[in-house]
Amino acid sequence: MKIEKEELGEKMYDAFMFLAIIALIACLCFADKPHTDTITEKRETVTVQDKFSELDTSEMVLIQFADTEYYLTVSRKNDTDLHDVEVSKRQYHSIGKGSKVKCIVTYRNGKVDDIEIDED
């Protein structure tokens, strides 16, 4: 049984179309869904519960050039969770435990995503 060039071309075309349809279906099924996150920002006053610093030597060869990162552990009104907020060296030394600090709280889908010290 001999297959003619025309028949072979049709079969290859059919096979290609079949694989293209399968690939299209796979792309549609596994594609990322559109993000529908609700992001809001709110100014709040938080209370400083603790302060700590960490020496970041991950990218430094010599310890004398290492960066120090400063953090405040803060609590929000009516919230039992504590959150760590990275601050500058100046802010770290000027803010004491128990201080009230104005912050910008970022919410993602109703949950706290980030807290930053308000510079205003």
117 forms bridges with which residues in the sheet? 103
Q: What is the pTM of this model?
A: 0.60
Helix (H, G, I), strand (E, B) or coil at 117: strand
What's the pLDDT at 50? 93
Which residues touch 51 (CB under 8 Å, ≥6 apart)? Answer: 70, 71, 72, 73, 92, 95, 96, 97
What's the pLDDT at 27? 83
- Give the model confidence (pLDDT) of 67-120 as tens digits: 788 999 999 988 889 999 999 989 999 999 999 999 999 999 889 999 999 886
> Which class for 19: exposed (0-12), middle (13-18), buried (19 or more C-beta within 10 A)?
exposed
pLDDT band at 5 (very low <50, low <70, confident <90, very high): low
- Give the model confidence (pLDDT) of 23-37 as tens digits: 998 888 777 766 677
